[in-house]
Structure 1
Amino acid sequence: MASKEELGVPAEERPLCGSTAANSSGMSCGNLKYRFLMTGIACLDIVNVCPRFPEEDEDMRAVGQEWRRGGNASNSSCVMCQLPGARCWLLSTLASDGFETEFVQRDLEQNGVKLDYCVRHDDCRLPTSYVVLSQATGSRTIVHYRKLPNLDFADFDRIPLEHFSWVHFEARNMTEVSKMIEKLTRHQQCQPDQRLTISVEVEKTRRETYPLMGMADVVFISKEVAQDLGRNDAKSAVVQLHSLHCRKDAKLICAWGSCGADGFSQSEGHVHCDAFPPESLVDTLGAGDTFNAGVLYGLESGASLFESIRLGCWLAGRKCGRLGVGNLLDGLSESDTVYSLVSGQQH
C-alpha cells in the first residue's frame, strides 16, 4: 500500500487522530479540511434530451445529446468539492483503459475529486448509463449497463482510515460493504479521538442490503425503499423505520422529490424541509446525489439535522434548474437561506 507521502497528501492534512479537528460546536478549526471518502460507482452517462418520453417502438429524434460523468458517489463527490473547506476522495472501480474511463477520470479531476484510491481492472469497460431526459416533465429514465466488478473488502482494507473524517457508502454489495463498515466501526472504537462518521445510502429496493441501515451513523433511504417497506410519505418513513431498522443514535433521512425531505434523530426528533423548486425544471439527473452531498456537508460542518437537510434541498433545487451538477454556488447571495452554511463564513 502506498504511503500518504507517496499519494501526495500534504503533511498538514495527514492523520486526524489526536488532532483538534473540531471545537465543542463541531465546527472546523483553522484551515483543516473536511475529508470525505465516497465509495460507490463512477460511470459514463449518455444523455439524450427528448421533447417527451417516447412510446414503446416509437422512432423519436432527440433534440440534444451530451456525455456526462455519472454515478451516485461520483456526482456527490463533485458537488462536495464545490463547498468551502471540503476535500473528497472517490473509492470506485474503474476500467484500466478506454475512452469512457479517460472521459470520466478527466472530468472528476477537473472537479477536484481525488482518485488515489480507485481500483483499476483490465479487460473491462466502464459502466454506462443511457439516459432519456424529458423536456416535458424534467424526468430522467435510465438504462444501465456494467461489465466491471464492484468494490470488495480487499479494495477497502488498504485505505488509511486515519486520513478521513467521513466515509460514505452506496449499498451495493451487502457482504462486502458490511465488512467495510465493520472495519470502520472497530476503527472508531480503537481511535476515540478521531472524528469519523459513517453514512450509507440505501437507494435500490434490494432487500438483502436493508440490514446496512442498522450499521451506520447516518442513513439515507430513497422514496422507493420507503414504499417497499410499506410507508407512503417521508415523515412516516423516517419516524417509523428509524426504530425498526436503525441504531438508536443514528440519523435517518428520506427525500421525497417535489415534497422535500424529512429526517429523524433521537436528539432532534422529526424534521421536514420543503423543496426549493427552480423557476424552470431542466434536469433532475443527479438531484438525489446533490441532496446527499449537501446533507453530509452540513452535518460534518456542525449544522443541525434540519439545517443540513435544508442545504441538501436547496442544492438539489439549484441542480434541477440547470444541466449537470456543476457551478451550483454561482450567483449565491446573502438573501439565500443557506448562505451562512455555504459562503465559507463559518469556516
Structure 2
Amino acid sequence: MTSSAYDVLGIGNAIVDILARTDDAFLTAQGMTKGSMTLIDEARATGIYSAMGPAVEVSGGSAANTIVGVADFGARGAFVGKVKNDTLGGVFIHDIRAAKVSFDTAAATDGPATACSYILVTPDGERTMNTYLGAAQNLHPNDIDAAQIAASAIVYLEGYLWDPKDAKDAFLKASSVAHGAGRMVALTLSDAFCVGRYRDEFLELMRKRTVDLVFANEAELTSLYETADFDAALAQLRKDAKLGVVTRSEKGCVVISGDETEAVPAFPVEKVVDTTGAGDLFAAGFLFGLVRGAGLKQAGQLGTLAAAEIIQHIGARPQTSLKALAQAKGLLP
C-alpha cells in the first residue's frame, strides 16, 4: 500500500448529540423502546426537547465519533459529513476540527437544519436515541473528494447513512475510488433496526467486496442473519466478510478473518455510566491498530480499551487520552 495523507477517513451523519439523564418511566411515557435508535421529524424533536431534563450538547454522529477516537490515539483522521450553516452546524464544525480531525465538507446554505440526536441515558448506562437527521441526509456524491479518499489508508462507512439514495451513491463512489487506490474499506452496521431495513443490501456490499471489513455487535449480527444462534451467525459472517469484528459488550469482541479467530476480553470498568459511542470508539481503536500494523488481537485490545474509556462517562468523545491509556497498558510504545 502506498503512503497516505490520512490514516482513516470516515463518512457518516454529522450530528450534534443532546444528552440527558432520565429513567425508564420517562421512556415509557414517551413511547420509546429502551436502547433503540428512532428516526424522528422536527416536530417530534421539539416535543422531546421540551419534555426532557437538563441536557448537554456535544458533537456526535457515529463515524465522526470514531474518527475523533482515531485522532485521539495519535493517527491522522478526516471526516466527510453534511451540516447546514446554522448554529448547530457551527458547533459541529468547531468541535471536530478542535479534535484535530480534517473536516472540509461544504455546509448547506438551504434545506433542513443540522442534524441532532436526543440521547436519553438511564441509570444502567443504556442509551435511547431519537435522531432528527436533517441536513446530514443530504450528503451527495459531489461531497466526495476523490483525491482525499485515495489518500486515506482506510475509508470507514457508517451504516446509519445508508437511507438516502444520494448518500448510498456517495458511499459507492468512495468505495470504488478507495479500492482503485489499493485502500481498505470498512463498514459499521450501526444498529439492528438499520440492519432490518437494509439486510440484503448490506449482505451484497460484503459479498461483492464493496467493503472489506465489517463491524457489528451481537444484535446486529443476529439480525443480519435472522437467527438467535450467535455461533451460526458468526460462521456465516466468516463466509461473507473478508474481515469481521463483532463486539459483545462485557464479553469483549471476536475477530474473524478466513480460518483465523481472535476472542479478546473486555477491559474491566468501575461503573458503566453511558454506553453512547461504545461501538464507535471500539472501531476507533481497532482501525488505529490496523493502520499501525498491529495484529488482530492487539487491534481488538485497542478497541476494547477505547470502548471501556467511553462508557465510564457521559458522551461519546474521550475524556482521557486514548494514546496515553494504550501506552499505560503496554499496547503502544
Shorter-normalised TM range: 0.7 to 0.9
Q: Identity of aligned pairs, percent?
A: 23
SS in 1 for 2:119: strand
Are positions 1:212 and 2:175 aligned together?
no
Describe the SS at the equivalent of 1:120. Answer: coil
Question: Superposed, which structure 2 residues align to 1:133-144 within 5 Å?
Answer: 133-134=121-122, 136-144=123-131
Give distance in 2, aligned partners of 1:177 and 1:271: 33
Match of residue 3 from structure 1: none
Does residue 275 (structure 1) correspond to residue 237 (structure 2)? The answer is no
- Distance (Å, rounded) in 2 between the aligned partners of 1:122 and 1:46: 23
Q: 1:90 aligns with which of 79, 96, 101?
A: 79
CA gap of 1:189–1:98, structure 2 versus 1, over 3 A, is closer
Pair 1:255–1:213, CA change in 2 (3 A): same
> TM-score, length-normalised on structure 2?
0.79
CA distance in 2 between counterparts of 1:100 and 1:294 reads 28
The answer to whether the aligner puts 1:44 opposite 2:37 as a matched pair is no
2:242 is equivalent to residue 242 of structure 1: no
Q: Does 1:326 align with 2:315?
A: no
Distance 1:334 1:276 in 2: 15
| CA pair 333-153 structure 1, distance change in 2 beyond 3 A | closer
Change (3 A) 1:120 1:333: closer
Instruction: Name the SS of the counterpart of 1:332 in structure 2.
Output: helix
Alpha-carbon distance change, 333 to 99 in structure 1, aligned in 2, over 3 angstroms: closer
CA contact (8 A) 1:129 1:144 kept: yes
**SS of the counterpart of 2:331?**
helix
* Structure 1 residues 314 and 44: alpha-carbon distance in aligned structure 2, compared to 1, 3 A threshold: same
2:65 is the alignment partner of 1:65: no
Aligned to 1:56: 28
- Give TM-score, length-normalised by structure 1: 0.76
Contact 1:173/1:209 (8 A) holds in 2 = no
Counterpart residue type for residue 322 of structure 1: H
Q: Distance in 2 between matches of 1:107 and 1:282?
A: 23
For the pair shown, the structure with the greater C-alpha radius of gyration is: 1
Q: Distance in 2 between matches of 1:253 and 1:151?
A: 27
SS at match of 1:323: coil
Q: Deviation at 1:200?
A: 1.0
Distance in structure 2 (CA, Å) of the matches to 1:189 and 1:335 = 36
Aligned pair partner of 1:302 in 293, 302, 308: 293
Query: Conserved in 2, the CA contact under 8 Å of 1:92 and 1:119?
Result: no
Cα shift readout 1:181-230 (whole Å, capped 9, x = no counterpart): 65556546654xx5x21111122222243122232121112333222123
The CA RMSD over aligned residues, in Å, is: 2.9
Richer in helix (by share): 2
**Residue ranges of structure 1 left out of the alignment (5+ in a row):** 1-16, 22-31
Counterpart-to-counterpart distance in 1, 2:177 and 2:133: 33
Secondary structure at the aligned position of 1:114 is classed as strand
Which blocks of at least 5 consecutive residues in structure 2 are unaligned? 31-47
Q: Secondary structure at the match of 1:56?
A: helix
Partner of 1:224: 219
Q: What is the aligned length?
A: 301
- Could you tell me whether the CA contact under 8 Å between 1:235 and 1:263 is conserved in 2? no
AA paired with 2:11?
T
